[in-house]
Amino acid sequence: MLPRFIAALLIAFIAVPSTAEARGADGFSNPIIPGFAPDPSIVRVGSDFYVINSTFEYFPGIPIYHSRDLINWELIGNVLHDPEQVDLESVGSGSGIHASTIRYHDGLFYVITTNNIDGELVNFVVTAEDPRGPWSEAKVVEGAPGIDPSLLFDDDGRVWYAGNHAPSDPAFNGEMEIWLQELDVETMALTGERYFLWRGCCQGAWAEGPHIYKKDGYYYLLISEGGTAYEHALSVAISEDITGPYINNPRNPSLSHRQLSYDHPITGVGHADFVELNDGRWYAVALGWRLVDGLHGILGRETFLVPLTWETEPYWWKEPKYTWPVVSPETGRVELNFRPPFADTGQRESQAFLDDFDRTELGLEWNMRRTHGAPFHSLDGSALRLTLQPGHLDDHGRYSFLGIRQRHFEYDAETELRFEPRSSGEEAGLVVMQNDRSAVFMTLSGGESANRIRVYKSFHGEVVELAVTDFAGESVHLRVSGDYLELDFSYSADGETWTTLAADVDGTTLSPAVIHGYNYTGLYLGVFASSNGGKTSNHADYEYFRYTPRAAERDGWYRRQIGRMDQRPSAAVEDVEDVAVLQDQLASRR
């Protein structure tokens, strides 16, 4: 066995590429879409690539990103942009829009997805000629159980729906099965016989996310197994007939990090989709976690890019010799860096975000939680106005919140607020939100003798005040600075001179490992306004919102975690019970 210090040196010189390699044309860095971008699905149309992700209770739903090089992505729209398309008014945290699939056929884009209305599963399809929209009204596929539907447009003109369900004869708790049925895309009605294809290779636990591809006369069924935490995995089966029988790839799982330490910088990889390039090469997009200190997935699941190739079985004695996809053929893992798919293509640095609210419609980056019966926000070309609603954080509630995805571990986010509280219960300000069960607020509110600025946590309905100060004014700049699991909150009267109100605030309460329950989303940074149950016609105005990444190097998060592995080579986390909690709460997806 190598001495520990030598092993550490090997990690430093082999596992961690140089900054130049990470940023230059010789390599790109994963993830390609950082910050709450789970369950990616991809399609190529000519030289254009499009990726979509799950959004659960957030609206607008299902962001659609565009790229020409697979490593630089631009948000160009949201598939679910009209509240009439989808019922999200009262879904709980972790419900709503689950994994979606995007496909293109005969001039039309198709997105098929599941809306989980707190256990009632509604599968539906929307279409568009232009991926930027508008997208059609939803057409529900009646009689389609389960989640994560996908479509295959076969070369004989038939269209097939693939989904999952709980079989009537499960061999163990959590066993799921992939099923298939023909779909009439004119009526979105299932037709003909239903076929039951596969329960997976690895006990079939939570077999989901099916995609079927046709290549060289064979049908390949790609699924995810094992839940969406450490044991997540991809598996592949093959058949000469789309209806089966499907034969297990003996080298399954085809991609997983389940064999790696809990401390590995990238974990939980799975739920992938394959795409073929114009020149015949193939790639996969897959979700993965970047866990802080091996436990805290504060950014949620993100989108990673992985090369794949195809290999034919070499056995002289075997007929037929099947050809199988080999994901990440050099290492079998989702690496931090790969060579770019297209030569002389560099990866742009993650850009800062600034909204001066100089438009009359919200930018594509903004989301609210759930849909609302009436608008609570407006723009006049100079400011964003939030109407105070009675609601605060509630597992099925609606409240005045707009936010953008946190995409970096180190950042500054700030806004200028103009607000005149009319009672002590009215407040408005800045928020860092994981979901309805956990958030940290910095707000301006009314006080007994003067307005006040407060920093407080809301965790499972309990409020803990962290800091408070009187503030003589109705216009204030508010800022939160994030450093992995620590948050600093400061304020300024003029936007130049800042005063720290709360420093080193513990951000672990924003972690899915601590919140418990189904936590499929990532952190949001945004603006918030509430009357906390009171009746009011009051409002709060925001002059701008700025988000600035602060990391000294793009891949610093990776080196930070590698350093942690070096310091604690024989232990994954301090508290074994915490790992059990994470596995129980996150791996059991459904």
Please, are residues 191 and 184 in contact by the beta-carbon 8 Å criterion?
Answer: yes
Q: How confident is the model at residue 5 (pLDDT cuts 50, 70, 90)?
A: very low
**Structural domain for 198, as ranges:** 4-349
Same structural domain for residues 333 and 458? no
Q: What is the C-alpha to C-alpha distance for residues 34 and 554, in angstroms, rounded to an integer?
A: 12
582 occurs within a structural domain:
no
Q: How confident is the model at residue 205 (pLDDT cuts 50, 70, 90)?
A: confident
Q: What is the model's pLDDT at position 26? A: 63
Residue that has been written with the tokens 């009537």 in this structure: 168
Domain end marker among 289, 317, 349 = 349
CATH number, position 384: 2.60.120.200
Q: Which of 139, 53, 132, 40 is nearest to 96 (CA)?
A: 53
pLDDT digit string (tens) for 227-286? 999 999 999 999 999 999 999 999 999 999 999 999 999 999 999 999 999 999 999 999
Q: What is the C-alpha to C-alpha distance for residues 265 and 293, in angstroms, rounded to an integer?
A: 9
Q: Is the pLDDT of residue 23 over 50?
A: no
Tell me which long-range contacts 307-310 makes (C-beta under 8 A, separation of at least 24).
307/281, 307/282, 307/283, 307/338, 307/339, 307/341, 308/274, 308/282, 308/283, 308/284, 309/282, 310/215, 310/282
**Residue 111, strand partner residues:** 102, 126
Q: Is the pLDDT of residue 17 over 70?
A: no
| 80, two tokens | 């679910």
* Rounded mean pLDDT, 195-202: 94
Same structural domain for residues 230 and 339? yes
- The C-alpha angle 80, 400, 52, rounded to 5 degrees, equals 25
Catalytic residue among 57, 177, 208, 414: 208
Q: Which of 545, 470, 458, 461 is nearest to 505 (CA)?
A: 458
In 3-state terms, what secondary structure has residue 509? helix
172 occurs within a structural domain:
yes
Q: What is the model's pLDDT at position 2? A: 33
Q: What average pLDDT is seen over the chain?
A: 91
Catalytic residue among 39, 177, 263, 302: 39
Q: How many CA atoms lie within 13 A of 473 on its CB side?
A: 13
566 occurs within a structural domain:
no
Q: How confident is the model at residue 519 (pLDDT cuts 50, 70, 90)?
A: confident
Cα–Cα distances in angstroms (integers) from residue 14 to residues 18, 40, 258, 335, 426, in the given order: 10, 29, 21, 12, 55
Same structural domain for residues 367 and 342? no
* Amino acid present at 306: V
Q: How confident is the model at residue 18 (pLDDT cuts 50, 70, 90)?
A: very low
110 occurs within a structural domain:
yes
CATH number, position 205: 2.115.10.20
Q: What is the C-alpha to C-alpha distance for residues 159 and 224, in angstroms, rounded to an integer?
A: 22
* Rounded mean pLDDT, 545-560: 94
* Amino acid present at 305: L
Same structural domain for residues 409 and 311? no
Same structural domain for residues 398 and 302? no
Same structural domain for residues 320 and 357? no
pLDDT digit string (tens) for 419-454? 999 998 999 999 999 999 999 999 999 987 789 999
Q: Catalytic annotation on 474? A: no
Helix count (H) and strand count (E) of the chain?
Answer: 5, 40
Q: How large a percentage of the chain has pLDDT more than 70? A: 92
Domain end marker among 349, 369, 395 = 349
Q: Residues with Cβ < 8 Å from 284, sequence gap 6 or more?
A: 255, 272, 273, 274, 275, 305, 306, 307, 308, 327
- The C-alpha angle 164, 169, 173, rounded to 5 degrees, equals 75
413 occurs within a structural domain:
yes
Q: How confident is the model at residue 7 (pLDDT cuts 50, 70, 90)?
A: very low
| 148, two tokens | 């994560």
102 occurs within a structural domain:
yes
Same structural domain for residues 315 and 415? no
Q: What is the C-alpha to C-alpha distance for residues 489 and 501, in angstroms, rounded to an integer?
A: 6
Same structural domain for residues 222 and 311? yes
Same structural domain for residues 473 and 343? no
Q: Catalytic annotation on 39? A: yes
Number of domains into which the chain is organized: 2
Range scoring the smallest mean pLDDT among 36-40, 291-295, 541-545:
291-295
pLDDT digit string (tens) for 336-393? 999 999 998 999 987 899 999 999 999 999 999 999 989 999 999 999 999 999 999 9
Q: Is the pLDDT of residue 571 over 50?
A: no
Q: How confident is the model at residue 13 (pLDDT cuts 50, 70, 90)?
A: very low
Same structural domain for residues 337 and 393? no
497 occurs within a structural domain:
yes
Residue 253: is the preceding peptide bond cis (ω within 30°)? yes
572 occurs within a structural domain:
no
In 3-state terms, what secondary structure has residue 515? helix
If you ran DSSP here, which 8-state letter would residue 279 be given?
A: T
**Residue 5, strand partner residues:** none
Q: What is the model's pLDDT at position 21? A: 36
* Amino acid present at 350: S
Cβ count near 5 (within 10 Å) = 8
Same structural domain for residues 338 and 362? no
Same structural domain for residues 372 and 270? no
State the DSSP string of 125-148: EEEESSTTSPPPPPEE-TT--SS-
| 44, two tokens | 């190529």
Q: How confident is the model at residue 103 (pLDDT cuts 50, 70, 90)?
A: very high
Q: How confident is the model at residue 204 (pLDDT cuts 50, 70, 90)?
A: low
**Residue 369, strand partner residues:** 58
Q: What is the model's pLDDT at position 349? A: 84
